[in-house]
Amino acid sequence: MHKRLFIPGPVEVANDVLEKMATPMIGHRSKEASELQRGISEKARKIFNTQEEILLSTTSGSGLMEGAIRSCTAKRAAVFSIGAFGKRWYEMAIYNNVPADLYEVEWGNAVDPNEVDKVLATGKYDLVCITHNETSTGVMNPVDELSLVIKKYPEIVWCLDTVSSMAGTKIEVDKLGVDICITSSQKAIGLPPGIAICSFSKKAVERAKKVTFRGYYLDLLLLYEYIQKKDYQYPSTPSLSHMFAMDYQLGKILEEGLENRYNRHIEMANYVRGWGKEHFELFADERYLSNTLTNIKNTRNINVGDLNKELGQRGFQISNGYGKLKEKTFRIAHMAECTMDDIKELLFNINDILKLQ
C-alpha cells in the first residue's frame, strides 16, 4: 500500500505532476530546452519575489548550498545554525577548504539578530548562511529582523536556505536583500526530489568572479553565465524530466494563488499546533513556529517508531525526531499539496491509535 507522506520531504506529489516526468525527451541544446528553463525561471521569480536571475541545478538542495558557500566566499563565511541543516553549511565549508565559523544556538531556538550584528561588526566575514525554516527543529527564523541587521553590512553576501519553506510561506527575496535564496523540489514546492533552484543576485555574481576555486559542477557563476550566454541553458545535461514537472507544478502553484497557498499552510499549521498542544507540547520556541511542519515534544513517552508502523498499516507516514531528537519528538509536515482534510484524517488516525480523546 502507498503510504501518504506527512514527512518534511519528500512530500506527496500530485498524479498529473508525476505524469509530466514521463514527457518524451528533447535535446538539451535545443530551443525547446531554453524555453523550458526560461519558463521555470519566470515562474520561480514570482514565487521568490525577485527580479534576480534564477539558477537551476539538477541536484537536491544541498548541491546549491555547497555551490553557494564555495562559489561566493572570498574572505570568510559566518554560519548561523539553529539545527542540523544549519550545521550542514558549516560542514560544506570545511570540506571545501572555505574559511568559516559556526555560531550555534540550542535546538528549538531562533537566530538572535543582535548576535548576528555583533558577529558581523567584527568585519571578518563577507558571506552569511542562515536557515529560514529549520526542518530538524520546526523553527522558522525571523528573517525580517535579520534582514535589517544584515543590510547594515553591504559587503555581506546573504545565503538563505528556504528548502523546506519556499512556496509554503511568503518569502520576499529582494525586499529582504537575500543574495542567494535556495530551495529544493521535494518539500513545499511539491515535486519529486532531484532538482533545486536558487535566486542569484548581481552582488553574488560579482563576488563569485573574485573567487578562484569555485569547483566546476556546482560553480554558481558557471550556471549563471550559461544562462546569459546560451539563452537559459545548462552547462551539462540537466534532468529534463524534472524540468518538465517543475515548469508545470510552478504554474499550478501560481494558479492556486500565492496568498491562497500561504493561507492554506497557516491554517494547517494552526490546526496541527492546536492538536500538539492539546495532547503533547510543541518543541520550538512558540514565537518562531514553522508554517510548513510542526515538531511535537513526546511528553507522553509514546513509542514513535511503533506509532509510525501502525500509521503505515493505515497508509500514512509521519517523521520521528531528527537525529538526537529521535523518540524525543515527532514531526508532522503540512506542506505542498497537503490539505486540511488530509491533516484531519491523519490526526484522527493518530488519536485512534494512541486512544486520545
Give me the least distance between CB of 186 and ligand PLP, in Å please.
6
Q: Which of 144, 189, 145, 197 is nearest to 171 (CA)?
A: 144
- CB closer to ligand PLP out of 41 and 57: 57
Name the residue with cell 529549520: 134
| Nearest-angstrom CA–CA distance, 207 and 228 | 17
Least Cβ distance, residue 12 to ligand PLP (angstroms): 16
48 binds ligand PLP (CB under 6 A): no
Site for ligand PLP in 143-172 (CB under 6 A): 161, 163-164
Look at strands 53-57 and 196-200 and give their pairing. antiparallel
Contacts 24+ apart (CB under 8 A), 266-273: 266/169, 266/291, 267/340, 268/334, 268/338, 268/339, 268/340, 268/343, 269/294, 269/334, 271/334, 271/340, 271/343, 271/344, 271/347, 272/332, 272/334, 272/343, 272/347
- Closest CB 181 distance from ligand PLP, rounded Å: 12
Q: Is 249 in the site for ligand PLP (CB under 6 A)?
A: no
Least distance from ligand PLP to the Cβ atom of residue 253, Å: 18
Q: Give the shortest CB-199-to-ligand PLP separation in angstroms.
A: 16
Cell of 38: 526560461
Residue 184 binds to ligand PLP (criterion: CB under 6 A):
yes
Question: Is residue 9 within the footprint of ligand PLP (CB under 6 A)?
Answer: yes
User: Binding site for substrate: which residues?
Assistant: 331
Interface characters, 102-141, with ligand PLP (x: CB under 6 A): -----------------------------x-x-x------
Residues in binding site: 331
Terminal alpha carbon distance of the chain: 28
Instruction: Name the site residues for ligand PLP (rule: CB under 6 A).
Output: 8-9, 60-62, 85, 131, 133, 135, 161, 163-164, 184
